[in-house]
Each structure stands twice: as C-alpha cells, then as structure tokens.
C-alpha cells in the first residue's frame, strides 16, 4: 500500500513460539482441562518509526527502531513465558487486565486468578509534531500459525492499553492508568477444526463470554460447559466481550490518541490465548504463532487530506444478479471505501450470537454505489462502511441495518 508522506508509520513484528513438552491428557476436550506444558520462546520484536515520532522501551532512550533485545533488557517487560496455556479475561481495565484459568479436578473445573500465562510489556511513543495523532493498527498486521499448526492463531489476542502521557520520563514509566483496552482479534471469521466439528459457523465472527472478576475461587460443573468446551453464561461469572477488533471484517483500527508537544505516551501490551474463544481447544499450547504488528498514525485534525468523513449505508439492491450497496455523500477523491455485509444470527448449539460475513465490496473515488462480491437474497442485513485513505487514515460508521430489495 502506498503511504501518504504526511502519515507517520510504525512497524513492529512479534514471533511467539510455544513448544509442547508433555503429551496431552487423554479424553480432554475443553481449554481448561489442563494437560500440556509449553514454553514460549523465539520472541522476536522489531519496530521502526518514521519522522516525527520516536519509540522507546524505557521512555528515555529514543530510537526509530527497537528489537527484542531492547525489550528483554528492561526488567519490567515479560517477554518469555514458561508453561503458557489458555486463560480468559474481559475488557475491564484497572491499570492492566486480570486473567483467569481453570483446572480440571474430579469432573469439575476450579477457577483461579492467573498471573503467568500471558506476555506483558510496555512501549513508549513520543509525538514531536504539533498535532495530536491517532495510533492505528494497519490492515497488513497479522497473526498466523507457524510450523506446528494447532490453530493457535485463531484464539490469540493482543491488547493495547493507553496508560497515560507525561513530559517527564520518570512520571511516564510510573503511569498505571487506562480504563479500556483495544483488543485485537484477527482471524475472527475463521474456524478451527474442533469448532467446525462441534457445529460452529464458518465466516462468522462470534461473541464470547470471558471470565470476569467474580470467577476466582469459583467452580464450574459440566452443566456450565457448552458444545465448544467453554463456560457459558449460566455459570454467573462470565461477561460478554464485545470489544474485539478484526480489521479484515471492517472493525475499527484506532488504538488510541497520542498527544502532541513531545508528551510521552505509555502503551501496555498483553498477548494471550483466549480460552473462551470458540476455536480454542486444549492443545493450542502446543502450537507456534507468528504475530506481525504494523502501526500507522495520522493527525486527529485537519483537512480532507488527513481526515476522512464517515459514510453510511442507505440501501442494498439486487438487479440482474448483482447486489450493490448505496452509501451517502459525495465521497472524497483518492479514498478507498469498503463495505461489509452481515447477517446477525444465534448459534443454535450454544446460544452464542454471531455476525456472518456474507459479502463485501470496494471502490475508490466519489462513488456512492459499491458492487458486492456475492449476490444477496431479500432480507435485512447489517452493513459496515469504512473509508481508508491511501496513507492509511480510516473512518468507520456504526453498524446500520438496511433492507435488501431484490429486483
């Protein structure tokens, strides 16, 4: 993708390798029936910042590039994990995220707080420009399975928490704030073999219920376990997680805002395997995963050269076997607009909600009608519209339900 010279680009790459050292327990199906021991190793991280922005691991030594060696030199950054296994959390931030795990014992599942089975590290960004910047996750970012493919990538999560900003490095490193996390869930519409065998829908982004702060010390029973081996909301200590983002299906790419005037922003990063994901099974710890970050940033204010207006879907029509979505407004030159069309449904097996991606389309310029890649039958659909600038500025409308009229 071409980059507008007015945009700042940060590129990062993370590779996480988990290697099994014990055989799986016999007859275990759910993520919380522990039977694996794993070691996270081969953690490689590189980042580069373009003119106007610098990146650091300690808020004092600023560079345009950092590596995993820079991270491992900082004591407060945990970059390797022994025995990494699935855990669960919700987007309830109090300086960080609280994680919980479950252990199988005598046909029940003991839930406990977990402080070991995730990666955690801090990054610092300094914006030397005159305008505040929106830090964005670019759509070339990805999480993929490595040589040992256990579908681990399908339940991997990355969270970014803005803990605050300060012009004083000593103050910046001590920041512990943050009220919400940007949780990145790529591969949200791809199903694992175990989930497909249990009846999960392909091309559908599932909601899920993470273990919340009332889970510690509780016990789940087989009656609380759904067909995907997850604890369902009948247990009373799960909460809906509806804030995960997947850029490939039209979700928001905006992580946070970075203030101007050389203030230092502290971003805490978590990486974990979400046990409550429908695609998570008890052998994901035996897989290896490659995580590639690419961050973009752009001014939060300015002209149409740096800010894209939101567009809203107003109608879907099918004529001559071709379905199109009409979007309002006149558009902006050079802006690529994309639409994603979903059918909202309920999983009959577990009662989980999901949005099934049925069609998508793209067009550039001042167009108000975008052709879809699949023909749609008459009915009601949810539509997401995004506008992505050549320099990676994007805008996202709220989901709007429109009625298809088959002609």
The string of pLDDT tens digits covering residues 185-205 is: 999 999 998 899 999 999 999
- Residue 39 located in a structural domain: yes
Q: Measured on CA atoms in the order 284, 289, 292, 293, is the torsion positive or negative?
A: positive
Verify that 155 and 262 share a domain, yes or no: yes
Verify that 284 and 323 share a domain, yes or no: no
- Residue 248 located in a structural domain: yes
Q: How far is CA 36 from CA 28, 83, 91, 113, 351, in A?
A: 11, 8, 27, 19, 29
pLDDT at 157 over 50: yes
- This prediction's pTM: 0.85
Verify that 253 and 107 share a domain, yes or no: yes
Verify that 335 and 385 share a domain, yes or no: yes
- How many domains does one find in the chain? 2
Percent of the chain with pLDDT over 70: 73
Verify that 234 and 344 share a domain, yes or no: no
- Residue 75 located in a structural domain: yes
Last residue of a domain, one of 274, 299, 324: 299
The closest of 88, 80, 104, 93 to 30, measured between CA atoms, is: 104
Calpha distance 208→185 (Å, rounded): 12
Calpha distance 355→345 (Å, rounded): 6
- Residue 89 located in a structural domain: yes
Band (pLDDT 50/70/90 cuts) for residue 388 is low
- Residue 308 located in a structural domain: no
**pLDDT tens across 106-128, in order?**
778 889 999 888 888 888 888 87
pLDDT at 147 over 90: no
The winner for highest mean pLDDT among 201-210, 281-290, 325-334 is 201-210
Which residue segment(s) compose the domain that 386 sits in?
Answer: 313-406
Pick 304 or 282 by higher pLDDT: 282
Verify that 16 and 147 share a domain, yes or no: yes
**Contact at 8 Å (CB) between 182 and 256?**
yes
Verify that 258 and 344 share a domain, yes or no: no
- Residue 351 located in a structural domain: yes
Band (pLDDT 50/70/90 cuts) for residue 289 is confident
Verify that 293 and 339 share a domain, yes or no: no
Strands in 115-177 per DSSP E: 119-127, 133-137, 142-145, 156-166
Last residue of a domain, one of 299, 322, 342: 299
- Residue 306 located in a structural domain: no
Strands 369-371 and 322-327: antiparallel
- Residue 1 located in a structural domain: no
Quick one: pLDDT at residue 175?
95
Verify that 279 and 334 share a domain, yes or no: no
Across the strands, what pairs with 257? 134
Verify that 393 and 275 share a domain, yes or no: no
Q: How far is CA 60 from CA 6, 41, 123, 185, in A?
A: 26, 27, 11, 31
Verify that 343 and 382 share a domain, yes or no: yes
Last residue of a domain, one of 253, 273, 299: 299
Verify that 328 and 221 share a domain, yes or no: no
């Amino acid at each position: 993708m071409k980059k507008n010279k007015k945009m700042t680009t940060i590129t990062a790459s993370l590779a996480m390798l988990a290697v099994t050292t014990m055989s799986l327990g016999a007859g275990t199906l759910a993520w919380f029936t522990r039977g694996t021991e794993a070691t996270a190793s081969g953690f490689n991280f590189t980042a580069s910042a373009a003119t106007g922005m610098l990146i650091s691991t300690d808020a004092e030594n600023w560079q345009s590039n950092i590596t995993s060696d820079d991270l491992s030199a900082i004591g407060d950054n945990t970059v390797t994990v022994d025995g990494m296994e699935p855990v669960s959390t919700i987007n309830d931030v109090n300086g960080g995220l609280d994680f919980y795990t479950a252990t199988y014992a005598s046909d029940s599942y003991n839930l406990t707080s977990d402080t070991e089975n995730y990666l955690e590290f801090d990054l610092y960004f300094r914006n030397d420009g005159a305008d505040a910047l929106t830090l964005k996750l670019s759509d070339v970012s990805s999480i993929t399975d490595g040589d040992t493919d256990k579908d681990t990538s399908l339940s991997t999560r990355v969270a970014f928490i803005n803990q605050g900003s300060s012009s004083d490095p000593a103050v910046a490193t001590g920041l512990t704030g943050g009220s919400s996390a940007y949780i990145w869930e790529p591969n949200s519409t791809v199903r694992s073999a175990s989930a497909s065998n249990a009846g999960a829908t392909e091309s559908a982004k599932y909601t899920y219920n993470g273990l919340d702060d009332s889970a510690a010390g509780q016990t789940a029973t087989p009656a609380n376990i759904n067909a995907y081996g997850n604890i369902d909301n009948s247990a009373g200590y799960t909460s809906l997680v509806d804030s995960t983002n997947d850029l490939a299906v039209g979700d928001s790419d905006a992580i946070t805002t970075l203030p101007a005037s050389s203030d230092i922003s502290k971003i805490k990063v978590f990486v974990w395997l979400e046990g409550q994901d429908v695609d998570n099974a008890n052998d994901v710890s035996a897989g290896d995963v490659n995580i590639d970050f690419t961050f973009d940033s752009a001014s939060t204010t300015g002209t149409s050269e740096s800010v894209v207006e939101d567009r809203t879907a107003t109608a879907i029509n099918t004529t001559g076997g071709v379905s199109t979505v009409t979007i309002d407004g006149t558009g902006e030159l050079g802006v690529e607009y994309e639409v994603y069309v979903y059918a909202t449904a309920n999983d009959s097996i577990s009662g989980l909600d999901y949005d099934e991606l049925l069609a998508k389309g793209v067009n550039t310029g001042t167009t108000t009608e975008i052709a879809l890649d699949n023909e749609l039958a008459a009915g009601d659909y949810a539509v997401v519209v995004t506008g992505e600038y050549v320099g990676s500025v994007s805008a996202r409308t709220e989901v709007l339900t429109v009625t298809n009229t088959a002609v």
